[in-house]
A and B are shown apart, each in its own frame.
Chain A
């Protein structure tokens, strides 16, 4: 239990470190806003899929969070 939490912290910290090296400018994000990249980020679709699997399998978790994509402000 504890090991997995720390593994996540380490991987997350590595990802954040990578963030210091890789910066995608706001004007380079057009492809990230394409609907084809956001196929499973729609709330209704994702929650239905999550509910289907969680009622048939002994596991939970792994849903996507917010973020990524448009470098738009306001």
Chain B
């Protein structure tokens, strides 16, 4: 009950504030959004996330952006894998942890067809800090039929470990990301989206809490996992969105191919169907399939004294060979319907409220139920 009461309370307070403030604040082109997200998995880990976003027009072509997110993670008293953070060490009592994230930035229109955005990202939790600067440039071509977006991001992370004595030891991790995206209108009802991501990581790429069982002549020992200090990751994906006007529905299909220098390769296929049930109510159903192979240094067991020294070893299940399925349902109500009968509620024209549920499970005996409620408020 407490798990449900918390997100409800977190959402209700901003909603009440919003109802009081919004009509006064209203200005053309501003957007605000609230999302509450509740996750629980088969290991009884739970995460509650609440996010708030605002896009405020400052000048004709200048928009200020801010996005704030708060996570609260609860891990039961066994070694387990959480959703929003890294695996926790064994503890005899439940472990609770909070994370705060903020993204601030400015988006500037350049002429009629170009946009540049600069963002700063900061995420903070007791034993992990991430800071990033992000630059994005987009260019519209062919009378806005084609949009090319280039994005660069630099992350500097401090990966910490809370020692048994309570002190924190940090190690550094650096990530450089480049993304190219092409969005192309194919017809009045069809959109094609192509993306390519290139990510280079260096530094401490292991998890400081995760340990590996190593067996040698002297017996079985638990030792910290050891990943390579460099990793290059690439992903190419395509998506087609097709409107089906005759039945007031849309079909969105996507595929992603991923590979990296740790020899992990994966395929992701997803299909999503959305349909208007009544005028302003959209029902959505989603299926996603994922399969990957193992990293080159992943083994079922680590035998040999070399694994107690510099030989690579991992306890990260994400580097194993596995496949997963994800089924999802959503219901979104467009609040524009309220404005039809009551002109005073017309400011809800571009707002909506959505409930989503999805069930995730893989062949490593991990499953999760995710509930998400969101309010998108746009003035």
Query: Which residues does A use to contact B, with CB under 8 Å?
Result: 1, 4-5, 7-8, 11-12, 15-16, 18-20, 22-26, 28-32, 34-37, 39-40, 42-45, 48, 51-53, 55-69, 71, 73-74
Contact = CB atoms under 8 A, between A and B. Distances in A.
Nearest to B142: A19
Interface of B: 33, 35, 37, 39, 49, 51, 53, 60-61, 67, 81-84, 112, 115, 136, 138, 140-147, 149, 151, 179-189, 191-199, 232-239, 241, 243, 245, 248-250, 252, 254, 256-259, 261, 264, 266, 268, 272, 274-276, 282, 284, 290, 292, 295, 318-319, 324, 330, 332, 334, 352, 354, 356, 360, 362, 366, 368, 370, 372, 374, 376
B112 A55 contact: no
A60 B199 contact: yes
Given A24-B188, A64-B195, A48 B138 contact: no
B51 A48 contact: yes
A62 B254 contact: yes
17 contacts: A4-B196, A12-B182, A12-B196, A24-B185, A26-B143, A31-B245, A32-B188, A32-B191, A36-B249, A36-B275, A39-B272, A43-B33, A48-B372, A55-B82, A62-B258, A64-B195, A71-B143
A52 B39 contact: yes
Given A5-B234, A60-B199, 17 more contacts: A1-B261, A8-B196, A22-B185, A23-B145, A25-B143, A32-B191, A34-B250, A37-B243, A55-B83, A56-B83, A56-B368, A58-B318, A61-B199, A62-B258, A67-B140, A67-B146, A67-B149
Contacts of B266: 57-59
Contacts, number: 222
A15 B184 contact: yes
A60 B37 contact: no
A28 B188 contact: yes
Nearest to A61: B235
Closest 6 CB pairs of A and B: A67-B147, A65-B181, A61-B235, A67-B183, A61-B197, A62-B237
Given A19-B145, A36-B249, A64-B195, A59 B115 contact: no
B227 to A, nearest CB: 12
B193 A65 contact: yes
B194 A36 contact: no
A71 B252 CA distance: 21
B258 A61 contact: yes
Contacts of A11: 194, 238
B196 A5 contact: yes
A1 B232 contact: yes
Contacts of B254: 62
Given A32-B243, A67-B147, A48 B83 contact: no
A44 B274 contact: no
A39 B366 CA distance: 28
A23 B241 CA distance: 17
Q: Considering residues A7, A8, A48, A62, which has the most beta carbons from chain B within 10 angstroms of its beta carbon? A: A62
B252 A39 contact: yes
A73 B111 CA distance: 10
Nearest to B264: A58
A73 B360 CA distance: 41
B31 to A, nearest CB: 10
